[in-house]
Chains A and B, each alone.
Chain A
Amino acid sequence: MMAAADELAFHEFEEASDLLAETPDAATTSGSNQLTPQGHVAVAVDSGGSYGAEEEVEESDRTALLQEEKQQPGFWTFGYYQSFFDVDTSQVLDRIRGSLLPRPGHNFVRHHLRNRPDLYGPFWICATLAFVLAVTGNLTLVLAQRRDPSIHYSPQFHKVTVAGVTIYCYVWLVPLALWAFLRWRKGVRERMGPYTFLETVCVYGYSLFVFIPTVVLWLIPVPWLQWLFGGLALALSAASLVFTLWPVVREDTRLVAAVLLSTVVLLHALLAVGCKFYFFQPLPLAHPAPPTQAASLSPDLPPPP
């Protein structure tokens, strides 16, 4: 009887480790933790969190169970997409807070996402940002018209479409390129694999959250204040991206790491500056307003398509 029990125990362990070896991508937490058993690396990388040890043990038990029982549903089923919306209100708020306050040691993906990316955050943050951009852009025109009645006011509804398309393309195409590039360079790295595509999209989506209050603050018609807020938001957002990407690229050659990080920051800055110029277009020069810093830049602006 005892021998039978022993054999049973050993067999289970073997089966579990076989599963681990065969299908490293089966569970969502496998990610880059291929060398050590599930759940332990999560402890080692970030120990600054407020979650205690019992959560890690619980998670490793749960993921072991999940590996044995659950098959990932096919992408044509509703359940597949439902797995990306498996978040609670408190989790979403926590992730937003994590993106607003990036800290050098804290990796957004490991610490806040905990390898469970969601699509709710990126989707609705982008939608909110698109609408807020269009609305505040329109509001600046209203406020400008009140100061100077000769400006022609119009609701400019087409800007909603432009805003939406731009932001959604940014949050989907740039992470796609980044993910593809990181996978291509995967061979150089030994320790840490790249993030999955959804985790990259998640990082980008949540990093755009800081622009929402910034855009609202851009209503204040003081140019240097607008640039200050813009710079601050860009710094926070780019820092969040860089701190998340740093552990992945630091094993690469210095050149590649530097080029990658600066490209990421540059694209982000392009988005911010482009939005500022397109939606908060300085007033047409037809009226004799005193030349402010913004108005002097307006001759360089192409007319909206």
Chain B
Amino acid sequence: MAEAAESSGDPGTTSPRPLFAGLSDISISQDIPVEGEITIPMRSHIREFDSSTLNESVQNTIMRDLKAVGKKFMHVLYPRKSNTLLRDWDLWGPLILCVTLALMLQRSSIDSEKDGGPQFAEVFVIVWFGAVTITLNSKLLGGNISFFQSLCVLGYCILPLTVAMLVCRLVLLAEPGPINFVVRFFVVIVMFAWSIVASTAFLADSQPPNRKALAIYPVFLFYFVISWMILTFTP
């Protein structure tokens, strides 16, 4: 609706008025175009292209998932408060890590069944049931993190310990001795601390403030048990 908009358009012709006096008279004139396109600047999530992922090559699919897993590995190795692990959770990474760890922790079957180290199934059960128990614990204490998000974080933060396992296996190829043990001990302790720091950085914010220690202690126990399994491994 065209009102006396022209009066605001030419300031010099009218009598001097106080500042901003004419603001209330301003209306949108038909001369000013008010049309255009509104675009949301962020990239829409990949889910809207669902129909087209059926046609892509297998390599694309696999590489996309691998890249997502790799990106999360980087987030764990350099933990800072970010939401990537929580927002786009997936369980591929924890599965890969758990299987790797369990395979490496297997010992030859020369030892008797009873007295040996953990079997593949035992490691698997400890990792997954431990993660589920910790998640249940944190939800019961009143944390607002979803079940799978928590599993995702706990699984991904096993990465430093898997690296420690690799290093230990390499070190064990050398001749045994106290130095061998000290090196392995040092590596495992450092990686254990790294795991705890990484998982705390992701999980601590979702807990109620006066129960943070109650929620973090089981995580500490969980990684402690895994570190002990790694440290006591003998080929």
Q: Is A69 an interface residue (CB 8 A)?
A: no
Q: Contact between A89 and B232 (Cβ–Cβ < 8 Å)?
A: no
Q: Contact between A154 and B214 (Cβ–Cβ < 8 Å)?
A: no
Q: Is A88 an interface residue (CB 8 A)?
A: yes
A135 to B221, CA, bound (A): 12
Convert A88-132 into 0s and 1s, putting 1 for each residue whose CB lies closer than 8 angstroms to a CB of B. 111010000000000000000000000000001000100110010
Q: Is B212 an interface residue (CB 8 A)?
A: yes
Q: Is A181 an interface residue (CB 8 A)?
A: no
Q: Is B66 an interface residue (CB 8 A)?
A: no
B178, closest chain A residue (CB)? A146
A154 to B111, CA, bound (A): 8
Tell me how far the C-beta of B159 lies from the nearest C-beta in chain A, rounded to whole angstroms. Answer: 22
Q: Contact between B221 and A128 (Cβ–Cβ < 8 Å)?
A: yes
Q: Contact between B118 and A157 (Cβ–Cβ < 8 Å)?
A: yes
Q: Contact between B221 and A155 (Cβ–Cβ < 8 Å)?
A: no
Residues in B neighbouring A90, C-beta threshold 8 A: 210
Tell me how far the C-beta of A60 lies from the nearest C-beta in chain B, rounded to whole angstroms. Answer: 24
Docked complex: B193-219 residues within 8 A CB-CB of A: 210-214, 217-218
Convert B132-152 into 0s and 1s, putting 1 for each residue whose CB lies closer than 8 angstroms to a CB of A. 000001011110000000000
A142 to B118, CA, bound (A): 17
Residues in A neighbouring B211, C-beta threshold 8 A: 87-89
Q: Contact between B116 and A155 (Cβ–Cβ < 8 Å)?
A: yes
Q: Contact between B140 and A82 (Cβ–Cβ < 8 Å)?
A: yes
Q: How many residues of B contact A (CB 8 A)?
A: 27
Q: Contact partner of A127 among B221, B228, B229, CB < 8 A?
A: B221
Q: Contact partner of A92 among B118, B137, B214, CB < 8 A?
A: B214
Convert A125-153 into 0s and 1s, putting 1 for each residue whose CB lies closer than 8 angstroms to a CB of B. 00110010001001000100000000001
Q: Contact between A87 and B214 (Cβ–Cβ < 8 Å)?
A: yes
Q: Is A156 an interface residue (CB 8 A)?
A: yes
Residues in A neighbouring B122, C-beta threshold 8 A: 157
Q: A85-B140, A127-B221 are in contact. Are A157 and B214 (CB under 8 A)?
A: no
Chain B interface (Cβ < 8 Å from any Cβ of A): 111, 114-118, 122, 137, 139-142, 210-214, 217-218, 221, 224-225, 228-229, 232-234
Chain A interface (Cβ < 8 Å from any Cβ of B): 78, 81-82, 84-90, 92, 120, 124, 127-128, 131, 135, 138, 142, 153-158, 304
With A127-B218, A157-B229 given, name 6 new contacts (CB 8 A).
A81-B140, A87-B211, A120-B141, A142-B232, A153-B234, A155-B233
